[in-house]
């Protein structure tokens, strides 16, 4: 269950809560704990896919949001 909505320490980065949830999901996955694979390998194999998609959507929205301001300031 995602915990990004609960009280957490702020890391100051965009989408930090979702990033932390993705990290925890990977570290607690059977792929890492039982198969002794790296979190990166497990992510490539499709573990924690929902959180990965949420994280990328969050990051993509930040890029889109910033591009609006950069294009408006060039007028």
- The domain spans of the chain are 16-63
Q: Rounded to whole angstroms, how far apart are CA atoms 57 and 23?
A: 16
* Region class of 2: left (phi > 0), else alpha (psi between -120 and 50), else beta: beta
pTM: 0.70
Per residue in 28-65, pLDDT (tens digit) is 999 999 999 999 999 999 999 999 999 999 988 877 66
Q: Rounded to whole angstroms, how far apart are CA atoms 45 and 51?
A: 14
Q: Rounded to whole angstroms, how far apart are CA atoms 66 and 15?
A: 14
Does the pLDDT at position 7 exceed 60? no
Does the pLDDT at position 5 exceed 60? no
Name the residue among 7, 10, 31 with its Cα closest to residue 19.
10
Q: How many Å is the Cα radius of gyration of the chain?
A: 15
| pLDDT tier at 14, thresholds 50, 70, 90 | confident
């Amino acid at each position: 269950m995602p915990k990004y909505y609960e009280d957490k320490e702020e890391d100051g980065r965009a989408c930090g809560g979702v990033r932390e949830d993705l990290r925890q999901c990977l570290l607690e996955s059977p792929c890492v704990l039982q198969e002794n694979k790296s979190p990166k390998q497990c992510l490539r194999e499709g573990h924690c896919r929902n959180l990965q998609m949420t994280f990328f959507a969050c990051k993509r929205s930040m890029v889109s949001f910033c591009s609006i301001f950069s294009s408006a300031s060039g007028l």
